[in-house]
Amino acid sequence: MSVSVHLVGAAALVLAAGLPLGASVAAQESLTESQIKEAIALGKDCGSIPLIRVGAPRGDFNVFIESPFARVAIHAAAARQMQQPFAAPQMTRDIVAPDYRIWVQYAPDGRRTVSVNRILVQPAGATEVAGVIQPVRERGFSQLSVGALPAHGIITEVRWRGSEWTFDHIPAGDFQVILMTSAGKQRYAVTAKDRATLLKICT
Q: Sketch the domain layout of the chain as residue ranges.
A: 33-200
The alpha-helical segments, DSSP class H, found in 28-141 are 33-45, 68-81
Give 129's pLDDT tier (boundaries 50, 70, 90).
Answer: confident
pLDDT in the model for residue 19: 35
* Euclidean distance between the first and the last CA atom of the chain, given in angstroms as a whole number: 32
The alpha-helical segments, DSSP class H, found in 94-196 are 156-159, 192-196
Longest dimension (CA), the chain: 49
How much of the chain is helix, strand and coil, in % rounded to 5?
20, 30, 50
Report how far residue 136's alpha carbon sits from residue 133's, in angstroms, rounded to the nearest whole number.
Answer: 9
Report how far residue 77's alpha carbon sits from residue 73's, in angstroms, rounded to the nearest whole number.
Answer: 6
pLDDT in the model for residue 130: 82
Mean pLDDT score, 57-64: 97
pLDDT tens digits, one per residue of 149-177 = 999 999 999 999 999 999 999 999 999 99
| SS3 state of residue 157 | helix
Q: Global pTM?
A: 0.86
pLDDT tens digits, one per residue of 9-27 = 323 332 322 333 443 333 4
